[in-house]
Chain A
């Protein structure tokens, strides 16, 4: 129990549970399987991208902001390509991963070779990709997407029947999110590569001395972000069933905030998959709960802002106290000796 209290994730989980209880008390419709599956589906896009952001924060401590632009470009490109040449969802997924991975790897190469701050490079690529997308598409919305996206969204995985005869299902997008989380966990905790990512984030020079190829680690991380953005793009297309060139860009801060709230450090080398999951879940519950409690949707930004500001304040204050107590211990030791 005492060990649990040390973890940021524990507090976050408590917060999620308390929030669930409060919302359910006000509106029992919240805790129905139908509603839960529905907000898990909506959160899957942000959730998939959040896994990538976690990787970037671990390797460098600075957030990538270009992932939304990558997802946006991939979404548009995949819809255009499938409209022209057909194909099935598996091909679309593979294509999205390749395109996203290539676009992401550019960040990795530039950051590694030119030694520039992550945030500057990714702002540049965000503007570049997003601007080019608009220039080439003229900002046109594609309202008709191939039917395979709709089939994918309504894929029967675990169909259930509600009390009033309606059917609902565990959506394929949620499954993709959980798969991304699982993959992220496996890479971070069970592979040499994952340990290298933590090592580079903790101390790059030390990692280099250990014989870790920092170029490869960095390029992998940024390509991985691109790949996940590609997957998120497919999930997003399947949910909204259209391709709008400015719908994903602009949400990057929200995703970053969720990951940071989940305990990823801005000094690099720290962060967990479960924390990221809980961070995204918290925001999803907030959004869904506000709707169920009949608040206007514009209160969502206020609550998210409050959640981040308060969450950051509390966790920073705790770290401050830990640091102070350490200093005191040192002073006492010196005094004793």
Chain B
């Protein structure tokens, strides 16, 4: 196993599945009559998309060697623009909007969100502002803009078409979850089957090498941040549907949670590695933990504390396992006459 693949699989998929299994068993053990039920499964499936979209958006930006701190602010911005557009198009009675008007408002929201992504991409690619700063600046700018646009109030009353995205279901499967599955498959094609995805991984692992390999790094970065923002738009629509309202400061704590999920999913914060499948498992793990603990009726802040503790434990476990593997490799090198258990 070469150094790069070893780094790419800092927490290999197998470990993640084991963790997921252990946690599911633990949760079932703690709430035997409430956790393994269809309704709980449904509620988890409808809660998962918001976190998952944000985490995927964060992952896309991290693979390119950056970070997108503005991800939640962009989502709120998209939601607010869509809500204001709805209000404008229907003359104040946004609840009665027809499907066509709702779609038109959503298209405007998506365009606004792509513009924000393009702004971040431009700052990072052309002006060469460090990504963490560019997105931090845009995050604060958007937070302010959101408050100014809504005057700090909550905007509510949306048409049924929008509410269906959050609350509707197809044969018992929440629509939001269906959208998530479609988005994951789409992202899989973009990242693993298209030239753009390949360029993105190359760019993340070594920007200079990527440039000399005739990859237009500026264009790739621009599309990277636009793609990342697109996931914010998806989050926005699901959030609008589920909460039936938009506000300037919804879900702010999810920025840091999505960074944690990326770490759990083995995405290298310096870019170039991170597998979609591990990422999805990591998000499911976080959701199972938070739903399971919620069923126990514990303080929701206990989940916050637990996420922090889990990451610290993972960091330690990760360190010791890689240390142990390294020692074993060295021992093998020192005693080559001993038969190796497996070729690694």
Q: Which residues of A contact B (CB under 8 A)?
A: 62-63, 65, 110, 113-117, 119-121, 123-132, 134-135, 138-139, 250, 253-254, 256-257, 260, 266-267, 298-306, 308-309, 312-313, 316-317, 319-320
Contact residue range for chain B? 35 or more
Q: How many A-B contacts at CB < 8 Å in the complex?
A: 152
| CA of A301 to CA of B77, assembled, Å | 14
Q: Which residues of B contact A (CB under 8 A)?
A: 69, 123, 127-130, 132-134, 136-145, 147-148, 151-152, 252, 256-257, 259-260, 263, 269-270, 299, 301-309, 311-312, 315-316, 318-319
The answer to whether A114 and B319 touch (CB under 8 A), given A119-B269, A305-B140, is yes
Which of the listed residues A62, A115, A124, A250 has the most CB atoms from chain B within 10 Å of its own CB? Answer: A124
Tell me the smallest distance from the CB of A55 to a CB of chain B, in Å. 18
Give 19 pairs: A residue, B residue, CB < 8 Å, sorted on A.
Answer: A63-B132, A114-B316, A116-B319, A119-B269, A123-B308, A124-B312, A125-B308, A127-B308, A128-B308, A131-B308, A254-B140, A299-B144, A300-B144, A301-B141, A302-B141, A303-B144, A305-B138, A313-B127, A316-B133
Closest residue of chain B to A121, judged by CB?
B315
Task: Specify which chain B residues have a CB less than 8 angstroms from the CB of A303 in the assembled complex.
Answer: 144
The answer to whether A302 and B269 touch (CB under 8 A), given A114-B319, A309-B137, A320-B127, is no
Task: Specify which chain A residues have a CB less than 8 angstroms from the CB of B139 in the assembled complex.
Answer: 253, 305
Task: Specify which chain A residues have a CB less than 8 angstroms from the CB of B315 in the assembled complex.
Answer: 110, 114, 116, 120-121, 124
Task: Specify which chain B residues have a CB less than 8 angstroms from the CB of A62 in the assembled complex.
Answer: 132
| CA of A63 to CA of B308, assembled, Å | 17
- Is B256 within 8 A of A110, CB to CB? no
| CA of A308 to CA of B137, assembled, Å | 5
- Is B306 within 8 A of A305, CB to CB? no
- Is B134 within 8 A of A305, CB to CB? no
Closest residue of chain B to A309, judged by CB?
B137
| CA of A115 to CA of B145, assembled, Å | 38
The answer to whether A257 and B137 touch (CB under 8 A), given A135-B299, A302-B148, is yes
| CA of A298 to CA of B140, assembled, Å | 12
| CA of A121 to CA of B314, assembled, Å | 11
- Is A120 within 8 A of B259, CB to CB? yes
- Is A305 within 8 A of B144, CB to CB? yes
Closest residue of chain B to A266, judged by CB?
B130
| CA of A304 to CA of B141, assembled, Å | 7
Closest residue of chain B to A137, judged by CB?
B301
